[in-house]
């Protein structure tokens, strides 16, 4: 057989990803009746403790930070967003909130667990193509070494995006989403080049809003009920409507996207927690 007639090496359909901060969203309802039954001095003491604890948690440092939001609508009263270096640290943050006296008046409504994820469609195509051209067998030791070297370069280059501070914007829009797996349309049966093309077109819309909204994508496959979480941060909530509506018309969203519940939160500094209680 000549090189032109050698069978092509079948490459995996899964795009490479790099992961960063572990993320937990906690949506809670405030037990107002029980709170009102407390004396003023007791409420003051509880708020002072909560304010001190949350102030320490909201100070960014080495990929560790929390933020408090007042939720608009009936889906909850407050939302806490935690960025940490690991799931163990997320667990400690959750337990720390629960141990505060104010935890007795916060009833969990729902939560979402995920991890910051950056998809590497372009890098995946290049490295897979190069390995296939050299006849390297997928998942062989040589293949794994090349893939890990690529991922490590990307981790270093993208460290600021993998371990960001929680943006200080006034508003947060959070929602989970899936890619469609229907009878006639299935994202996971599309070819790598087609998925890469669609994701590029999808991303170009987001780039036009770069000065108005900050987007952080988290992966949750195997962690929670949906496949991804999306956090949008902005000073003007109207940009959420405009961006998400425009994205509805591109192929990725129009054909393959399934959306979960949307949560809109107003950022509350720890020192002002009393204002929402």
Answer yes or no: are the C-beta atoms of 93 and 45 closer than 8 Å: no
Structure token digits, residue 102: 């104010």
Provide the whole-model pTM: 0.88
Q: 54 lies in a domain?
A: yes
Residue 5, pLDDT above cutoff 50: no
Query: Are the beta carbons of 228 and 48 closer than 8 angstroms?
Result: no
In a domain, 1, yes or no: no
Q: Using one digit for the tens of pLDDT, what is the confidence trace for 198-222?
A: 888 878 777 777 789 999 999 999 9
The mean pLDDT of 83-99, rounded to a whole number, is 97
Residue 8 lies in a domain: no
Q: Can you tell me the distance from the alpha carbon of 89 to that of 83, in angstroms, rounded to the nearest whole number?
A: 9
pLDDT, tens digit (0-9, with 9 covering 90-100), for 218-261 = 999 999 999 999 999 999 999 999 999 898 888 888 888 899 99
Please report where in the chains the tokens 């409507």 appear, as a residue.
241
Residue 214 located in a structural domain: no
> What is the rounded radius of gyration, in angstroms, for the C-alpha atoms of the chain?
22
Catalytic residues: 175
For residue 32, tell me if it sits in a domain: yes
- Domain assignment present for residue 175? The answer is no
What span, in angstroms and rounded, lies between the C-alpha atoms of 191 and 187? 9
Q: Label residue 206 exposed, middle or buried (CB < 10 Å: 0-12, 13-18, 19+).
A: middle
Q: How does pLDDT run across 30-69, given as a tens digit for each residue? A: 999 999 999 999 999 999 999 999 999 999 988 999 999 9
Pairing of strands 171-179, 263-268: antiparallel
Query: How far apart (Å, rounded) are the C-alpha atoms in residues 106 and 252?
Result: 38
Q: Cα torsion at 165, 57, 82, 77 (round to 10°)? A: -120
Tokens of 246: 């425009």
Number of domains in the chain: 1
User: For 171, phi and psi rounded to 5 degrees?
Assistant: -120, 150
Residue 97 lies in domain: 18-116
Q: What is the CATH number of the domain that holds 71?
A: 3.30.70.1030
4, part of any domain: no
- Would you say residue 7 has pLDDT above 80? no
| Cα angle 169, 48, 164; round to 5 | 30
Supply the pLDDT for residue 9. 53
Task: Please indicate, yes or no, if residue 40 is contained in any of the structural domains.
Answer: yes
Mean pLDDT of 91-117: 97
């Amino acid at each position: 057989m000549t090189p032109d007639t050698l069978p092509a090496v079948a490459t995996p359909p899964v795009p490479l990803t790099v992961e960063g901060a572990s993320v937990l969203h906690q949506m809670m309802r405030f037990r107002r009746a029980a709170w009102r039954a407390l004396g003023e001095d007791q409420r003051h003491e509880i708020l002072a403790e909560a304010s001190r604890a949350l102030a320490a948690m909201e100070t960014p440092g080495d990929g560790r930070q929390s933020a408090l939001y007042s939720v608009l609508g009936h889906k909850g009263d407050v939302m806490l967003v935690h960025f940490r270096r690991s799931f163990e640290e997320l667990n400690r943050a959750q337990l720390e909130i629960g141990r505060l006296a104010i935890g007795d008046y916060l009833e969990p409504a729902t939560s979402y667990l995920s991890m910051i994820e950056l998809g590497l469609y372009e890098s995946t195509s290049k490295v897979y193509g190069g390995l296939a051209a050299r006849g390297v067998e997928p998942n062989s030791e040589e293949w794994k070494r090349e893939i890990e070297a690529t991922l490590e370069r990307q981790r270093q280059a993208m460290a600021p995006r993998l371990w960001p501070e929680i943006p200080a914007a006034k508003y947060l829009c959070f929602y989970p989403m899936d890619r469609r797996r229907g009878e006639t349309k299935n994202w996971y049966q599309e070819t790598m080049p087609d998925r890469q093309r669609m994701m590029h077109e999808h991303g170009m819309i987001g780039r036009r809003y770069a000065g108005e909204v900050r987007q952080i994508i988290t992966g949750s496959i195997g962690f929670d009920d949906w496949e991804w979480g999306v956090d949008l941060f902005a000073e003007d909530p109207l940009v959420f409507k405009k961006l998400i509506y425009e994205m509805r018309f591109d192929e990725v969203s129009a054909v393959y996207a399934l959306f979960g519940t949307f949560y809109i939160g107003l950022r509350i500094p720890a020192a002002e927690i009393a204002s929402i209680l």
